[in-house]
Amino acid sequence: MKLPSGIAAGRFIILPMAYLFLILSTLFWSGNFVISRGMHAAIPPLALSFWRWAAALLLFSLFGAGHLVRQRKLVRRHARYIFIQGVLGVAGFNTFIYLAMQSTTAINAVLVNSCIPVLIAVASWALYREMMTPRQCFGVLLSLCGVVLIILQGDVSSLGGMDLNHGDLLVLVAAAVWALYSANLKKYPRDMHPFTYLMAIMIVGVICMVPFYLLEVLGGRGFVLTSATLATILYVALFASVLAFIFWNRAVRTVGANKAGPFIHLMPVFSTVLAVVFLDEHLRTYHFQGAVLIFCGIMLTTFRVHQR
């Protein structure tokens, strides 16, 4: 059946915007990995996670508070869903990542984290019986191969020498948490404004992190507020939290969790570029080879072939 021209035109605009939002989200999260890695000695993990979202909540309240007040009855009606998403997406994922980076290597962490698309597919099947086509599975596998190629610096033989430690298991927990969060966006309340939703889950996440942050402070792990630590918190609050979450949530609701998942594989690509610019690292041939595999995998997973 042929769609009316107005609907077809709207779909032509919405879908490319959704994919652009996915790319921007992974770019902002890649910056989060790079800047938090550079500042891990200056800001403890729970402090970074707490202040990231506390600052994000403060910034976003300028736009979201009014929506939250107007839709407070709707929020109460979906309080259980809001609580789960706040625990998973706000309090859970990045806290586990920041904790993991204290006891694992960057190679292990990114490699384990790259299994998110697979875990999203598993979570979508377990919760909603959404199946991936063979073509989508091959796309995920192809993009994962690109990630592995970049992480292993073109030396695939080094893969067998990797051992999972406590930090790697924390990254795996973080990946599972994010997969559940993304798959659960299928139940997003239709009448809820995106700003209302994000404001509500931020409040839940920040409240949940307070006792753990206080335990870290009481344990003697604080940080000094300098221009560098302040800039770090502002970046992770505005770009890696507010904007990235708005873009990711909107895109996942548009294209679905299974199609959005492989875009996570862009993070090693973006992280490599950011490391070259800000950490004075060098691009190698395997970076470009891995990027080609990643983009081909995303194309296979997200775009359909129409037969005439």
Write down the pTM of the prediction.
0.77
Percent of the chain as helix, strand, coil, to the nearest 5: 80, 0, 20
Q: How many domains does the chain contain in total?
A: 1
Residue 263: inside a domain: no
Tokens of 249: 């949530």
Q: Which sign, positive or negative, has the C-alpha torsion 247, 252, 257, 262?
A: negative
Yes or no: say if 113 and 174 are a contact pair by the CB < 8 Å rule: yes
Rounded to the nearest 5°, which phi and psi values hold at 25? Answer: -60, -50
Residue 291: inside a domain: no
Rounded to the nearest 5°, which phi and psi values hold at 251? Answer: -65, -45
pLDDT values of the chain reduced to their tens digit, one per residue, 308 residues? 454 544 444 444 567 888 899 999 989 988 887 888 778 889 999 999 999 999 999 999 988 999 999 999 999 999 999 999 999 999 999 899 888 877 776 666 676 677 777 778 778 878 887 777 788 788 778 877 877 777 676 777 666 665 556 777 888 889 889 889 988 988 899 899 989 998 999 999 999 999 999 999 999 888 999 999 999 999 999 999 888 888 888 888 888 877 787 787 788 778 777 777 776 766 678 777 877 887 787 777 666 544 44
Residue 17: inside a domain: no
Residue 168: inside a domain: yes
Residue 110: inside a domain: yes
Amino acid at 242: V
SS3 label, residue 224: coil
Residue 306: inside a domain: no
Residue 150: inside a domain: no
- Helix 266-278 with 106-113: angle, nearest 10 deg: 150
List Cα–Cα distances, 107 to 74, 258, 267, in angstroms.
Answer: 43, 25, 13
Residue 103: inside a domain: yes
For residue 129, what are the domain limits? Answer: 24-133+162-252
